Structure 1
């Protein structure tokens, strides 16, 4: 089966392909076959991309999707309040059905906004049925996902058996793959962290780890030989410039969640400091109880915050962080993240005739400075059209919304949580 996207402005994110003011992208059997100004493919299904921008789908490499049902409830919370609310108060009442409903709607939301690849950083840690529910939800969503299985919040409990169990189910290269959400040495001790990294290497799993603070966590791992090119470090606020350089030297990745970091008091995002030592940052949403779930607003916050600090960054840098850099952090740089012949066709088509972005003079600048989910017209994942004319294809959203509302109301009632905007957890 062939699909031809014709007549659009192509932002490929591949230096060898470049950008095309008026170009075409030919897709066959899920792969990008050709990118050129004009392509003759009379046997292909043609999608008219006139007045559209064609670019790779976004990659969100860190989102706790199980919290989707409580969107917006923590807009005013500090980090301590979020931890108390989500982990200490509502999580104990989550059933597998609650995890499933939140994960599925959260993944569809991300897809709807143009995020074709997403790492779901799971730390519900309520048992095998909860894990299986999260995996099932990701498999139902027509998107590329990484199930990043972690333990509960700041718990020393081993999850090695869980990792091996789920790994046996996701031991392939399908749309849903697996990673390991590690805890830091502060939670488990350096010996446990070393053992878990060894197991991850044995199983061929990439890892993700929340870190930060001024107690030299990266230096500690460096001294013990635990830094890996297969690990993404999340946040990192408070670590030293020399520690960032250690990450760069090891080939590790950094995931910046600018909205959460600024709102919850983590400190300034590390975007510019990372670049200064040769470490390419990537971008992630984190938690939707506190921030928006789309990559447009995330790019904008990261851009504005860094420009306010030192005037650095250009709009295209943000697109790079949110596509090819993040894809590489997930170990998927050879499959997605750019419009490159031979890669899977994870592509989004953005409207340029919408009044909120019209007229488009600088396509990259417009996407970063003015883009929003409302301009995401078409989305393809591995060549499959999963959103067309602004609507998800083959998804009956209404009953899924009802399931999520029922889940939220049940969990809130069981936890004694008000849903009238007055909840302010004690720190």
Structure 2
């Protein structure tokens, strides 16, 4: 039950180990046993990584995989269109089987593209049967995951309260926490995806945060910080009541003011930016750079494949370039009028003397920082002896990768899913020689297409 990843360039993401230009990783069962040059491992299965990059599996900190069958229908939508079409019209037509096949195929696609851990934020679960079907898809895929139990947000019928006045269903959290997701050491664990201060009353916020803490769960909320949020003081009010801490994660936060963001970071709350989705319909900076400037650990994710691609390679690329745009704009805005103009004309034409963030920074966001956001950094996120054996072997000899010298830049700018030769999750090989090992992929693809076709046809028919 031992495996030896031999002779790769190792990007450990562990500050004590660093980058090894040529080294080995020894695995025993589901754990990393040792990392170093020329390790001895008699009798171990050898995976040749010569000429390849070896790194921890990528961590996707926020994805709605139940929407996989509707990829790419909303890239030109406004934010209002997303809620009006996806949630109000398409969402109610999802059956439990639609959630199962979408989650399963979406999770398999994540593995194929190098993600070994997924925060699956499931808010299409109208019934317990929907919840169980989505969870079944995750479990079947083989991915490591945090299953985020969310809630649908239908328009209220006459006499019914608005969803903002309805606490998270405690009975469902209890059922999952005392049943299939009881263990925090299992491959798939549980989180509570709550409404948060933008979408619920203060009484509901109190109840939801208390529920998550009662069961020892990470809570997560969609937050924007717009003027129309239900709680104008947002996280400042929650912090004053002691409701927030490292057991909470917020996503987006694009319009949060500096004083509130300071409270959030100082409280230890993790912040996940989804730059590709956010910049599609907003002109404000994703929170990655602002969180980093406050001493926090930025977390990044793609959000939803209805709007944009869900792979973490593309997510890192977009996050890098988007943050550089905003950092560069700040640098230019801070220059005294006329400063540097002659030099600019004589040399590069730009006053930018330092380009940030660096590639290594963004790779850390997508591995160790995302693991921290999910409270899993003691188990994953770096190649560290004792942690779970979740790792990637990425080839560098394809036409698009050959000649890419610096390993972080090779990954962020040139690597494709096809370059990921080997994926291991808990020491088990799930992708080998560039081929995903899950059986019956053709049948799963057909079921996904049929699911999406039916959802769109029924919605069009009215």
TM-score band, normalised by the shorter chain?
A: over 0.9
**CA distances 1:89-125 after superposition (whole Å, capped 9, x unpaired):** 1111111111100000000011110000001101113
Q: Aligned runs of 1:140-219 on 2, under 5 Å? A: 140-153=140-153, 155-156=163-164, 157-158=166-167, 159-169=169-179, 170-172=181-183, 173-215=185-227, 216-219=233-236
Report the alpha carbon displacement of residue 266 of structure 1 after superposing the two structures with TM: 6.1
| Unpaired stretches in structure 1, ≥5 consecutive residues | 419-427
Distance 1:100 1:207, change over 3 A: same
**Contact 2:198/2:223 (CA < 8 Å) preserved in 1?**
no
Report the alpha carbon displacement of residue 224 of structure 1 after superposing the two structures with TM: 3.0
**Contact 1:150/1:182 (CA < 8 Å) preserved in 2?**
yes
Q: Say which SS state the counterpart of residue 206 (structure 2) adopts.
A: helix
Distance 1:84 1:178 in 2: 29
Report the alpha carbon displacement of residue 341 of structure 1 after superposing the two structures with TM: 0.3
Distance 2:18 2:34 in 1: 13
Which residue is 1:361 aligned to? 405
**Contact 1:284/1:298 (CA < 8 Å) preserved in 2?**
yes
**Contact 1:275/1:281 (CA < 8 Å) preserved in 2?**
yes
Moved over 3 A (4+): none
Which residue is 1:3 aligned to? 3
**Contact 1:233/1:253 (CA < 8 Å) preserved in 2?**
yes
Report the alpha carbon displacement of residue 264 of structure 1 after superposing the two structures with TM: 2.4
**Contact 1:244/1:279 (CA < 8 Å) preserved in 2?**
no
Which residue is 1:27 aligned to? 27
Report the alpha carbon displacement of residue 348 of structure 1 after superposing the two structures with TM: 0.7
**Contact 2:57/2:116 (CA < 8 Å) preserved in 1?**
yes
Which residue is 1:424 aligned to? none
Q: Aligned runs of 1:15-414 on 2, under 5 Å? A: 15-153=15-153, 155-156=163-164, 157-158=166-167, 159-169=169-179, 170-172=181-183, 173-215=185-227, 216-265=233-282, 267-311=284-328, 312-414=356-458
Distance 2:5 2:153 in 1: 44
Q: Say which SS state the counterpart of residue 103 (structure 2) adopts.
A: helix
Q: Which stretch has the larger CA shift, 365-374 or 398-407?
A: 365-374
Distance 1:355 1:413 in 2: 41
Distance 2:280 2:226 in 1: 19
Report the alpha carbon displacement of residue 168 of structure 1 after superposing the two structures with TM: 1.7
**Contact 1:218/1:239 (CA < 8 Å) preserved in 2?**
no
**Contact 1:282/1:322 (CA < 8 Å) preserved in 2?**
yes
**CA distances 1:122-158 after superposition (whole Å, capped 9, x unpaired):** 1113101000001111110111011100111372333
Report the alpha carbon displacement of residue 314 of structure 1 after superposing the two structures with TM: 0.4
| Unpaired stretches in structure 2, ≥5 consecutive residues | 155-162, 228-232, 329-355
Distance 1:394 1:102, change over 3 A: closer
Distance 2:323 2:243 in 1: 30
Alpha-carbon RMSD across the aligned residues, in angstroms, is: 1.4
**Contact 1:247/1:279 (CA < 8 Å) preserved in 2?**
no
**CA distances 1:59-108 after superposition (whole Å, capped 9, x unpaired):** 11111111000001111111111111110111111111111000000000
Distance 1:334 1:100 in 2: 29
Distance 1:227 1:145 in 2: 23
**Contact 2:288/2:300 (CA < 8 Å) preserved in 1?**
no
Distance 2:390 2:88 in 1: 37
Report the alpha carbon displacement of residue 417 of structure 1 after superposing the two structures with TM: 6.8
Report the alpha carbon displacement of residue 415 of structure 1 after superposing the two structures with TM: 1.3
**Contact 2:147/2:188 (CA < 8 Å) preserved in 1?**
yes
Distance 2:390 2:190 in 1: 19
**Contact 2:197/2:223 (CA < 8 Å) preserved in 1?**
no
Q: Which stretch has the larger CA shift, 350-359 or 2-11?
A: 350-359
TM-score by length of 1: 0.95
